[in-house]
Amino acid sequence: MVGLTRATGSVSRDNTFTLVHWVKGMRDMGYVSFLGVEDVEIIGHWLWKVEESLVQIHVPVEERVNCVAQLHSKSAHS
């Protein structure tokens, strides 16, 4: 995960460790990737569940998009 970057520059080693910790926490809580379903009710429930999981594991608001993006990347599946 050394190659991780975000809009503001490179992610430090400490931030990478924290991100991996959050990703693992989301997976441990049963996070399921969005499957592209077009039902608005299912989409709303999925978004709510993701937001609740991020809140429960104390992911800062400014890191939530990065965390979810890593859940969907191949590098996060280690």
DSSP, residue by residue, 27-67: HHTT---------HHHHHHHHHHHHHHHHHTT--GGGHHHH
pLDDT at 9 over 60: no
Residue 74 pLDDT: 54
Q: Where is average pLDDT lowest: 5-9, 23-27, 66-70, 73-77?
A: 5-9
Question: Does the model's pTM come out above 0.75?
Answer: no
Residue 41 pLDDT: 93
Question: Euclidean distance between the first and final Cα of the chain, in Å?
Answer: 10
* 5 bridge partner residues: 10
Nearest to 53 by CA among 20, 19, 30, 76: 30
